[in-house]
Amino acid sequence: MRFAQSAPVGALEVYRLPYTSAETAKTNPKLLCLSRVNPVSKIFYRREPFGAVIVYPTQVARAVGTLAAETIEKIVSREPQSNIVDFVCSHEGYEERDVASRFVCECQDLLDDKNASLKLAPKNSAVMAGPFPALALPLDMFWEITRRCNEFCKHCYNNSGPRGFHPKVENIERVIDDFGQVRLRDLTVSGGEPLMHPQFSGLSSKFRKLSFHLSLSTNGTLISEEMADFIAETYDLVNISLDAPVSADYDKFRGRKGSFERCTAGIRRLRQRGVKVMIQSVITEASADRLDELARLLISLSARSWSEPHRVCRRLFGLSYAATDVSSSMA
């Protein structure tokens, strides 16, 4: 299990702290899934000791104080606006009704994502001023549930292999329980090869309850028809590695014959079920001159129709072929 240390989110820097204790999660475990309020924008909202954090689909993040968090929850609960204004008026600094009304409107705008580019004054503002505060728990988590893998990839960074170990299930479940009701924005399940874990399906169902968005990182070679059905029901996104356009090169890079055919078959099964698949390609000296071929393969697998593969290749991989790691999305 690895935590993202820090990463830019929009114009702000969100610091994701390593998990420390169950008591941290209990500080304020209340969660509102605002996708129910705004299903189009799918806003992520989570209570924090300082108030709450809101992350928009554009990856812009907002930190709001306790008063703003409580006001937002009253708006979501559809309390009468006059009652909400009265609630805000009861707090120091908001005694004037017009000031309280503007504050309530600002909180409503946060739900509508109207403040993405608005510079707000620190005083009497719903959005917190100054540096982005530390979060009690990470927003995103990358969880390696096994070190076992059925391939021998040349670029493997964690020494996974056929004899890799599985962490104890009770240890995984203990971490899940420790998070309590605090929900993650994104959880990526990885390995090794996660589908080799004997309790992959059961753990995935528990991960589903833990995260707002659930992703799977796999080599794609173990995706049977039955497994494709389960993944389609459980995961929002599947990230699959595909580094070469032909089987000979791919199998050599992955260290196992037949990997290319099994991988592409797995991708097709997922696409047939409407699963969103992201292809991640590690560009090497052997593949750098064959990106057009790889682009044509991705087009065929994604069931999209483009008439200019070379242009698509540049669109997928960028204008420069010097990149060492690239991704393309199959929506």
Give the range of the structural domain holding residue 29, as residue numbers without chain letter.
8-111
Q: What percent of the chain lies above the pLDDT cut of 70?
A: 75
CB count within 10 Å of CB 180 equals: 15
Task: Please count the other Cβ atoms lying within 10 Å of the Cβ belonging to residue 16.
Answer: 19
Confidence of residue 67 (pLDDT cuts 50, 70, 90): very high
Judgement on whether residues 181 and 325 belong to the same structural domain of the protein: yes
Same domain, 98 and 152: no
What is the overall mean pLDDT for the chain?
A: 76
268 vs 314: which has the higher pLDDT: 268
Residues 247 and 295 in one domain: yes
- Final residue of a domain: which of 111, 131, 154? 111
Distance CA 267, CA 279 (A): 9
With 0.75 as the threshold, say if the pTM is over it: no
**Hunting for tokens 């390609």 — which residue is that?**
281
pLDDT digits (tens, 9 = 90+) for 272-296: 999 999 888 887 777 778 888 888 8
Average pLDDT, stretch 152-168? 83
Name which of 96, 89, 98, 42 is nearest 67 in CA terms: 89
Rounded Cα gap, residues 330 and 101, in angstroms = 44
Instruction: Average the pLDDT over 74-94 and give the result.
Output: 90
**Same structural domain for residues 210 and 302?**
yes
Residues 88 and 178 in one domain: no
Query: What pLDDT is recorded for position 253?
Result: 86
Is the pLDDT higher at 71 or at 285? 71
**Among candidates 51, 63, 67, which has minimal Cα distance to 110?**
63
Q: Of 294, 292, 216, whose CA–CA distance to 250 is shortest?
A: 294
Instruction: Please compute the mean of the pLDDT values over residues 226-246 and round it to a whole number.
Output: 92
Residue 271 lies in a domain: yes
Query: DSSP secondary structure string, 238-257?
Result: EEEE---SSHHHHHHHHTST
pLDDT over 60 at 117, yes or no: no
According to the model, what pLDDT value does residue 136 have? Answer: 81
Please state, as a whole number, how many other Cβ atoms lie within 10 Å of the Cβ of residue 162: 13
Task: Tell me whether residue 51 is in a domain.
Answer: yes
DSSP for 184-208, written as a single string: EEEEEEESS-GGGSTTHHHHHHHHH
125 assigned to some structural domain:
no
Percent of the chain with pLDDT over 90: 30
Comparing CA positions, the residue from 214, 242, 212, 216 lying closest to residue 227 is 216
Look up tokens 């199998």; give the residue: 251
pLDDT at residue number 264 = 94
- Here the tokens at position 220 are 């794609």
Please tell me whether residues 153 and 212 are part of one structural domain.
yes
Tokens 């994502």, residue?
113
Count of structural domains within the chain: 2
3-state secondary structure of 289: helix
CA distances from 37 to 52, 54, 71, 77, 240 (A): 17, 13, 15, 10, 32
Gap between the Cα atoms of 180 and 4, Å rounded:
20
Q: What is the pLDDT of residues 35-58, one digit of tens each?
A: 444 445 577 888 888 998 888 877
Q: Please report whether residue 293 resides in a domain.
A: yes
Predicted confidence (pLDDT) at residue 318 exceeds the cutoff of 60: no
The CATH number linked to 315 is: 3.20.20.70
Same domain, 91 and 172: no
Model pLDDT, residue 181? 66
Q: Cα–Cα distance between 279 and 210 in angstroms, integer?
A: 25
Q: Is position 203 within any domain? A: yes
Q: What average pLDDT score do residues 80-91 get? A: 93
Structural domain contains residue 135: no
- Amino acid (1-letter code) at residue 85: V
Give the model's pLDDT for residue 321: 35
Q: Are residues 99 and 166 in the same domain?
A: no
Nearest to 150 by CA among 101, 192, 209, 183: 192
As given in the structure block, the two tokens for residue 30 are 């209340």
Considering only residues 313 and 271, tell me which one the structure prediction assigns the higher pLDDT.
271
Domain shared by 325 and 176, yes or no: yes
| Residue 162 is assigned to a structural domain of this protein | yes
pLDDT tens for residues 186-207? 899 998 999 999 999 999 999 9
What is the side-by-side order of every strand in the sheet holding 277-282?
2-3, 140-144, 184-190, 211-218, 237-241, 277-282, 325-330
Q: Is residue 57 part of a domain?
A: yes
Whether 103 and 148 share a structural domain: no
Provide the 3-class DSSP secondary structure of residue 237.
strand
310 and 180 in a single domain? The answer is yes
93-122 exposure pattern, b = at least 16 Cβ within 10 A, e = fewer: ebeeeeebbbbbebbbebbebebeeeeeee
User: What's the pLDDT score for residue 123?
Assistant: 53
Whole-number pLDDT of residue 274: 92
Is 70 exceeded by the pLDDT of residue 326? no
Do 286 and 228 lie in one domain? The reply is yes
Name the more confident of 327 and 154: 154
Q: Is the pLDDT of residue 81 over 70?
A: yes
